Amino acid sequence: MLAPRFPDVRLWVYEADLAERMRETRENDLFLPGFRLPSNVNVVNDLCPAVEGADVVLSVTPSHFTREIYSRMLPFLPPGALFVSATKGIESGTLLRISEVIREVVSARFEPRVCVLSGPTFAREVAAGEPTALVVASHDDALNHAVQAAFSGPTFRVYRNQDPVGVEMAGALKNVIALGAGVCQGLGLGSNTIAALITRGLAEISRLAVAVGGQPLTLAGLAGLGDLVLTCTGQLSRNRQVGIELGRGRPLFEITGSMKMVAEGVKTTFAAMDLAERHGIDLPITAQVRAILRGEQAPREAIRELMERSLKGE
């Protein structure tokens, strides 16, 4: 998608054997089969040539690898680059948002310009050229304008937002609710249940996002409601799929052990509960998802407990 907008796109691939195959076949047969890489996408397995002299550094690493990858890149990062984070998660232990992790690491050399990119985007549909809308967010609107202009195109529409906190929190927490939506699907529950879960899930996400400095309106936008609906209902959602298998009774270790890609919601569930406890925020859906992940609660019992909570106003 970015290849027509930049003369040179370097794609760093972690797996050396996959990188070699991609150079030879021009296709990612492991993670995105069926799509040919444009000729100006240069696949590399070494971080130095990947980022050296880059105008834009776009990272989509799993959240638990972000600190390590940026630490390894640090000696080669160009001070003038724009840093765009598309990772949707919260760092375990520190409970930092991913842009905060990037800023913390890179600030050892220079003060980076960091923004976040989020929204309802399945990679396969983006690669297929299906119309997609998402949002870029930072406190520096000039940076937002620069990324918006560089990334937008005929099938990829980027909006600007000056609330990176809300955008990042929404992108991370929607994966937790998607686990719950998958559990409902796995239990054979219908549309009423999923609609209620999405709506009350959005209320939970909003409470925690606002508590850590996000803006309420952000949660009604692409990074909030848009991504939440996609991840809770879309067939390509990894987090929803994990939830479906949990609802069917499979143990978590067996589900994640058979997956090629990371379901961020698993680790984010525990980080979100730690963050909620720090700020005194009630997250009943997230708490039940955590209990299911820990094996402390049967999925159907978790649904029953949510329905039988004390009655209150919306």
**Which residues are part of the catalytic machinery?**
174
Question: Count of CB atoms within 10 A of residue 144's CB?
Answer: 21
- Cross-strand bridge partners of residue 84: 58, 115
**In contact, 228 and 198? CB cutoff 8 Å:** yes
Nearest-10 crossing angle of helices 191-211, 265-279: 50
* Burial bucket for residue 289 (CB in 10 Å: 0-12, 13-18, 19+): buried
Dist. CA 241–CA 271, nearest whole Å: 20
Integer Rg of the chain from CA: 19
- Per-residue tokens: 7: 């003369």
Backbone phi, then psi, for 32, in 5-degree steps?
Answer: -145, 60
